[in-house]
């Protein structure tokens, strides 16, 4: 059963050491991510699954203890998914999105609950995303999700994907749906448009929608902005009592 979920962006710039002198520009986003993770902790889950967008080579499961780093971004900073002493059998390092998730968890001092990762291909069809989410939610015990992913990368002329007039409306609807825990709207996000707008969060968000189908969670939008021309959304979903 899905007990709670946190939605966070996954740019490596979220890590201050990577952002360097620009680090203060994302302080509000980091604070919002911390607030979202506190909602997960309050739900007292039995297991946490970190979901992030990946290229094809990074798809699949990442067991607790899988290492990652930000060396590819010029910083000698290592992270590990879940408990530092856990063994890993994956034979591969965390992809960037899950490495950022691991960094957020370490920053929050998350250590008491088993953690695992799932890399979801950015191109995964909506139906397959929902199916993956339902499979996660069907596991025994109380499950929490940390869902990593960015909105469009086409909000300004200097954005990675240049300016696309469709980006702002797409991000507005995605942000609204994530803030309202609107499962139907998340499932309806256009995968083709998301790909054109370089919105890597689309697939993980639709996994969340599948997992939350029968959970009865309510949502809260904690942050929404587009620094560097990329849409970042932070939201928390929790049970209604």
pLDDT reported for residue 51 = 98
Q: How far apart are CA 149 and CA 152, in angstroms?
A: 10
Instruction: Write the DSSP string, 154-201.
Output: -SSTTSTT---TTHHHHHHHHHHHHHHT-HHHHHTS-HHHHHHTT-TT
Domain parsing of the chain, residue ranges: 2-239
- Write down the pLDDT at residue 241: 63
Name the pairing type of β-strands 2-8 and 143-148: parallel
Instruction: Write down the pLDDT at residue 37.
Output: 97
What are the 10-residue block averages of pLDDT along the chain, 241 residues in total? 97 94 89 97 96 93 95 94 62 94 94 92 97 97 97 95 97 98 98 98 98 95 96 94 63
Residue from 117, 144, 138, 150 nearest 38 by CA: 144
Q: Is the dihedral of CA 92, 103, 227, 186 positive or negative?
A: positive
Q: Is 213 exposed, middle or buried (0-12, 13-18, 19+ CB in 10 A)?
A: middle
What pLDDT is attached to residue 174? 98
pLDDT at residue number 76: 94
State the pLDDT at residue 86: 52
Q: Are 50 and 61 in contact (CB under 8 A)?
A: no
Q: Domain 2-239's class? A: alpha beta
């Amino acid at each position: 059963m899905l007990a709670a979920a946190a939605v966070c962006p996954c740019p490596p710039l979220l890590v201050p050491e990577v952002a360097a002198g620009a680090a203060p520009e994302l302080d509000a986003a980091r604070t919002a991510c911390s607030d979202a993770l506190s909602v997960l902790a309050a739900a007292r889950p039995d297991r946490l699954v970190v979901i992030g967008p990946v290229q094809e080579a990074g798809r699949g499961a990442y067991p607790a203890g899988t290492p990652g780093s930000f060396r590819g971004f010029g910083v000698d900073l290592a992270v590990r998914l879940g408990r530092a002493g856990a063994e890993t059998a994956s034979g591969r390092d965390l992809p960037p999105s899950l490495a950022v998730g691991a960094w957020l968890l370490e920053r929050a001092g998350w250590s008491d609950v088993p953690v695992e990762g799932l890399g979801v291909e950015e191109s995964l069809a909506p139906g397959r995303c929902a199916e993956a989410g339902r499979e996660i939610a069907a596991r025994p015990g109380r499950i929490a999700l940390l869902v990593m992913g960015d909105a469009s990368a086409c909000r300004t002329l200097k954005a990675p994907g240049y300016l696309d007039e469709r980006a702002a409306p797409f991000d507005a609807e995605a942000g609204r749906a994530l803030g309202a825990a609107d499962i139907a709207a998340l499932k309806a996000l256009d995968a083709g448009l998301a790909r054109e707008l370089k919105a890597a969060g689309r697939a993980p968000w639709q996994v969340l929608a599948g997992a939350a189908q029968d959970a009865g969670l309510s949502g809260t939008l904690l942050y929404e902005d587009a620094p560097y021309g990329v849409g970042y959304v932070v939201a928390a979903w929790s049970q209604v009592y």
